[in-house]
Structure 1
Amino acid sequence: MRTYRALFRVPRVLNITAAQLFARLPLGILSLAVLVHVEHHTGSYAQAGAVVACLTVGEAVAMPATSKLAGRGGRTAPTLVICAVVNGLSMLALAVTTASGLPLMALGLLVGASVPSLMPVVRALYPQMLPRDGVRALFALDTTAQEVIWVVGPVAAMALSTLLSTALPLIVSSVITLAGTAWFLVSARGLRPRGGPRTGTGRRVFARRSVLLAMVAGCALVGSFTALEVGVVAELGRDGMTAGVAIALASVGSVVGGLTWGHRRLGLRGIVAALTVVAVGTALFGATHVLALQFCALFVSGLGFAPAMSALYFTVSQDIDESVATEAFGWLHSAALVGGALGTATAGMATDAYGASGAVAVGTLFAVVAAMSPLAARATGRIGGLVDAEPLARPAVGSPR
């Protein structure tokens, strides 16, 4: 914990990190809030699912483009402000509209496409704020704190929807997006991503093996988690509270893993080990029907999530040219969204065919693919930015460069 306390002594780190995490809180609220609100409004889960799918597609397709725009130093603030305003207004429109069918799907697409690219921007800024070892610790803290979004967000969405109004989570998300984006821009004034040439950036991003590895591993890892969620609901869904606690335990495991190992220099073997822990925990959940053991397995499955993700993000940050960093992180965000959608869809079909064990098998397979991907990537050549493991090292956090 001394490593993380040292981070907060660096000027502006705490303020910037808190601001961007607050602004990203709606990401943990939106999918469930839209699903509940549209179903309540139309009486159709099919329509609600279609709107959520449009939201995800819009975000996955648009994020690399908006990240690329935000990566051009002088356009960072205008891009984030425009996205935040459009995103906030489209959420309000979705909350109050009486339309159904295609207009609702169009609004869902607009909500997703206008999500501010805060995550790519802030992760492009981290190397400007701290020296190398401090950046590693900050990525670990960011990835770990992100788990709080996925724990608090759904709980807040359901509490507001059940106790007050299904429209309220969307209204609250709109306010948080606008206020959080403004807070971030004020906190990060003077810091901007270092823009580069306007052409050929896509080729420069995908020419880096670290980006391709992080996209594949991140896609498979997130897909593993969403598939496991389907399996948990199918296995324990008779009691909604039990299923909710079970899923939260995986996130708690991720927080513990991130705080304990996320700041260490994992190296290739460390990343593979962290991803293997996810695969083992996922498989163990399907191997028992004893609730206490299932809870333990879910906790174990989460332990490797945050350390692996933070190590992959750090590898990209050290390998990629700063002028295309925001676009690179935008692609990583899209890959995670695609993985989540693939995991949910595949696990849903497997559950229909084989029950909860089918979803768990899908989650395990995704996790195995994630664990094998660093080995496959390394076997075909050097991965830039991937450092040798020093598991006992305690990174020193210095002053901003």
Structure 2
Amino acid sequence: MKVYAGLFRTPAVLAVVASQTFARLPMGMLSLAVLLHIQAKTGSYALAGAVVATVSVAEAIAMPLIARIAGKARRTATLMIAAAVNGVSLVALAVAGTSPASLVVLGMLIGASVPPLAPVVRSLYPSMVSGPGLRALFALDTTAQEVCWVVGPLAVTVLASTLSTALPLVVAAVITVVGTVWFLFSARRVRSVTGGGRTRFGAILRNRAVVLAIAASLPLIASFTALEVGVVARYGVGSPMTGAAIAVASFGSLVGGITLGHRTIGLRGLSAALATVAVGTALFGVIEQHGLALAVLFASGLGFAPALSALYLMVSRGVVEHATTEAFGWLNSGTLIGGAVGTASAGLAADAHGFVGAIVVSVALAALAALSPVIARVGGPLVGLGEEPAADLVQTSI
């Protein structure tokens, strides 16, 4: 706790963490809010699913490019334009008719205009703190991400069931605009990460730190979304155990991020954290007693946030400064793709083999994530993973 206490005494840290967490709340709201509203308005799950998919695909494609633009000394203008377009598009979807074409177009606009807050704020962290504080700050970032995924769906469910399915979309629009303004005001004195050279768009994907981060985080996120499918297949849609199981896993990640995320994690530690997710998920698949099943899900979550924190820190250290926002943009796209892959593959497995099929998919994906750092290490040292790298290696060329 001394590390976190010292961190919050650093100027602007508390304001930036709080504002970016609030501004990113819609990331835990969008998919469910769009799904519930379109299905209620049109009566079609197929159309609702198509619009949700459009939002995710558009975001995955546009995020690296918008993040790159935001990193080139255009932070305020880029984020405000994106937030404005996103907010207007969300409100337009809330009041739109039932035309499939218009709904899909609005979904595309919503996804393509999501402000790249996560890439931008992660690129700013090294300018705010250094040493052990930087690792703790990334741990807080992953914890905030978990908060968004816990609070977002809960807020959507309450608003949609008690008032209107359109209201969560309007609320998400307001949070996006207000939260972005709050973040920009909080970070106004934090220098933009610019200069130091130019690179072609997409060239950052040749950086080993970025490749490993995507290779590990994509199957890790896919494993979690596959686990969600498995939980639903085991307990059913209306069972309190379904929500409890998913919440317990997320809470485990929260605890892991706070207690372990600030610690030094080398290659072995990263693989161990990822393996914890795989082992806990596998045990959930074979334990029948509900209490023990929840306990192993909590344990599996302990490795989730620390692993992501180590990967984010590795990218921050292993990429030249002017390319960090684009790098984190690609990482964000990888997590979106991972979420879609996990849900789709586990859904097919659950249809064919029930609960066990979805859990097998989740375990396989988590195991793949755990193996990725070991495989990557064969190609040479992983700059930025573990102890502080040498000064001449902190920013490697692309």
Which TM bucket (shorter chain)?
over 0.9
Tell me, yes or no, if structure 1 residue 43 matches structure 2 residue 39: no
The DSSP-based 3-state class of the residue aligned with 1:381 is: coil
CA-CA distance at 1:100 after TM superposition:
2.6
CA distance in 1, matches of 2:296, 2:75: 42
Matched, 1:253 2:273: no
CA distance in 1, matches of 2:323, 2:199: 11
Instruction: Find the counterpart in structure 2 of residue 67 from structure 1.
Output: 67
Structure 2 counterpart of 1:25: 25
Shift of 1:297: 1.7
2:177 is matched with 178
Structure 2 equivalent of residue 239 of structure 1: 238
Distance 2:196 2:173 in 1: 32
Residue 263 of structure 1 aligns to a residue whose secondary structure is coil
- Which of 322-331 and 1-10 deviates more? 1-10
Displacement of 1:109: 1.2
| One-letter amino acid matched to 2:152 | G
What is the aligned partner in structure 1 of residue 84 from structure 2?
85
CA contact (8 A) 1:208 1:384 kept: no
Q: What's the counterpart of residue 307 of structure 1?
A: 306
Q: Given the superposition, is the C-alpha separation of residues 76 and 195 from structure 1 closer, same or farther in structure 2, using an over 3 Å criterion?
A: farther
**One-letter amino acid of the counterpart of residue 80, structure 1:** L
> Could you tell me how far 1:198 is from its partner in structure 2?
4.8
Report if aligned partners of 2:226, 2:343 keep a CA contact under 8 Å in 1. Answer: yes
Query: Contact 1:3 / 1:137 at 8 angstroms: preserved in 2?
Result: yes
State whether residues 271 and 370 of structure 2, in contact with CA within 8 Å, keep that contact through their aligned partners in structure 1.
yes
Separation in 1, partners of 2:111, 2:314:
28
Q: Indicate yes or no: 2:8 matched with 1:12.
A: no
Residue deviations 1:271-304 (CA, integer Å, cap 9, x gap)? 0000000000111111122211211121111110
2:61 counterpart letter in structure 1? V
Distance 2:337 2:121 in 1: 21
The whole-number CA distance in structure 1 between the counterparts of 2:196 and 2:107 is: 32
1:103 matches 2:102 = yes
CA distance in 1, matches of 2:379, 2:122: 27
Q: Which residue of 2 aligns with 1:327?
A: 326
Distance 1:51 1:380 in 2: 41
Q: Comparing 93-102 with 46-55, which one deviates more in the overlay?
A: 93-102
Name 2:351's counterpart in structure 1.
352
* Structure 1 residue matching 2:115: 3-state secondary structure: coil
Q: Distance in 2 between matches of 1:243 and 1:196?
A: 49
Cα offsets for 1:5-59 (capped at 9, x unmatched): 2111001100011111100001101110110000000001111101100000011
Letter in 2 for 1:250: A
Amino acid at match of 2:173: S
Shift of 1:106: 1.2
> How far 1:377 sits from its partner (Å)?
0.1
How far apart are 1:199 and its partner, in Å?
Answer: 4.2
Could you tell me whether the CA contact under 8 Å between 1:220 and 1:367 is conserved in 2? yes
- Cα distance, 1:122 vs structure 2: 0.4
Q: Which residue does the alignment assign to 2:292?
A: 293
Give how far 1:77 is off.
Answer: 0.7
Consecutive unaligned residues of structure 1, counting only runs of 5 or more, are 390-401
The residue that corresponds to 1:395 in the other structure is none
Are the structure 2 counterparts of residues 169 and 17 from structure 1 closer, same or farther at C-alpha, using a change threshold of 3 Å?
same
Which amino acid in structure 2 is aligned with residue 19 of structure 1? S
> What corresponds to 1:94 in structure 2?
93
Cα-to-partner distance string for 1:127-176 (whole Å, 9 max, x where unaligned): 00011321111000110121111111000000000000000000000000
Distance 1:295 1:95 in 2: 37
Range 193-202 or range 180-189, more displaced: 193-202
Check the 8 A contact 1:71/1:195 in 2, yes or no: no
RMSD value, Cα: 1.2
The AA in structure 1 aligned to 2:28 is G
CA contact (8 A) 2:67 2:120 kept: yes
Structure-2 separation of matches of 1:268 and 1:193: 28
Q: CA deviation at 1:102?
A: 1.8
Asked if the contact 1:89–1:174 (Cα under 8 Å) also holds between the matched residues in 2, the reply is yes
Residue 195 of structure 1 and its aligned partner are, at CA, apart by 4.0
Aligned AA for 2:308?
M
Per-residue deviation at 1:387? Answer: 2.3
Q: 3-state SS of the aligned residue for 2:255?
A: helix
TM-score, scaled relative to structure 1: 0.95
CA distance in 2, matches of 1:38, 1:53: 13
